[in-house]
Chains A and B, each alone.
Chain A
């Protein structure tokens, strides 16, 4: 049987994703089981199976600017149910990393990016998550200043929100890990 090859510039994207993820995208035969079980599909521009089809066809821009990769909540239902063991949730991670590197997310999609960014920044400076700072940083970035204000008193009273961070002793080690991984 003859295998169709994409034009070089399109094939490049497929090969790139293959190489980073170690996932053989040709295994997907578009059964749609991932999309049928995806709990976030209502917010996605392409359901997971369609996103894979776009990758198979080398359509870089459609993939890396899609809301799908940011809306995916990593529940792993797709990867669990795929009859061909395509690690779809892992594929989303790879696409997110590429999309960040290339600055391709739209404004709305950036809200989720900003949340992740704020999360990692508090870890970098304390070694552990500092929830108050995470929320403050995220709210400033996403301009969601008044969200959850009503919940705050109860959380403070019960000690569920700690005003001061717990800083680990060896924050240096964490900084080094971040420097290495940012290369």
Chain B
């Protein structure tokens, strides 16, 4: 099975662990990712914040290229990317935007980083042994753009989403009820407004810990970076201790399949992930 793939810039660089784990899991279940040839950056928040036309034109080039490659479905693991692609599709469908020099019709289906695993569960489940993660309690963190804006994305419940929890339960792990599933971590402000990121991410870590989570599961590389790379700074600023591993959903899937942590990039995190990986490796299966 082949799947259209729009990796996005971060997955080539600072979130290499995300792309490594995705590619490893897809290899395990026999799904071949077909990237858009010569894809470009979607513009992310910099484009929509400063130049409305650019925020449509950059993703539109990618969609038009995908059409040329005859892709009908496109998996975009970054929620910023998937949202901008879906937004551009919608504007094309509503005749608010027209792709130049092409006949792209806005109809390529864009799939986000949780939905893809829900759809592929029949291939994932036979490879998973639920015993590996049976003692693990995790908080599923959806962040902003997996579920917002709901009218555009039409995915899950915008206030109380459950799709990631369902996937995680099928892997054998337990999910905790908590209040910060959809609260913002500070997103793209990691570098340019660090104070805000520390404050918002601290609340998320605090609530996950209070509700008994041993790790937070994410499907967005900005959430991962803010909660993982900034965690030491948060602990220092607020005089708290979390030591909370921030694990990508495909990393957890890989662990449930018995894949080596290193192959999933779990050694590349700032907060050590052994609390999770040792459990997965030592539980008798």
Q: Does A120 contact B149, Cβ atoms closer than 8 Å?
A: no
A113 on interface, CB distance cutoff 8 Å: yes
Q: Does B50 contact A177, Cβ atoms closer than 8 Å?
A: no
**Interface SS of chain A:** helix
**Contacting residues of chain B (224-242) with chain A, CB-CB under 8 angstroms:** 229
Q: Does A97 contact B183, Cβ atoms closer than 8 Å?
A: no
Cα–Cα, bound, A180→B43 (Å) = 15
Which residues of A lie under 8 Å from residue B12 when comparing CB positions?
128, 162, 166
Cα–Cα, bound, A177→B229 (Å) = 34
Contact among B13, B187, B267 with A129 in the assembled complex (CB-CB below 8 Å): B13
The segment from A3-11, A23-31, A47-55, A146-154 found at the interface with B is A146-154
A57 on interface, CB distance cutoff 8 Å: no
Return the chain A residue nearest B187 by Cβ.
A73
Q: Which positions in A face B, CB cutoff 8 Å?
A: 39-40, 42-43, 71, 73-77, 79-80, 85, 89, 93-94, 96-97, 100, 111-117, 119-120, 123, 127-129, 131, 135, 138, 142, 144, 147-148, 151, 154-155, 158-162, 166, 168-170, 173-174, 177-178, 180-182
Q: Does B41 contact A128, Cβ atoms closer than 8 Å?
A: yes
Q: Which positions in B face A, CB cutoff 8 Å?
A: 9-10, 12-17, 38-41, 43-54, 57-58, 61, 144-145, 148-151, 158, 183-184, 186-189, 191-196, 199-200, 229, 267-268, 270
Which residues of A lie under 8 Å from residue B188 when comparing CB positions?
73
Cα–Cα, bound, A144→B193 (Å) = 11
A-B contact sample (15 more), CB < 8 A, given A116-B49, A177-B61: A39-B200, A73-B45, A74-B48, A76-B145, A85-B151, A93-B49, A114-B192, A123-B58, A128-B39, A147-B194, A151-B270, A159-B16, A160-B17, A161-B13, A181-B51
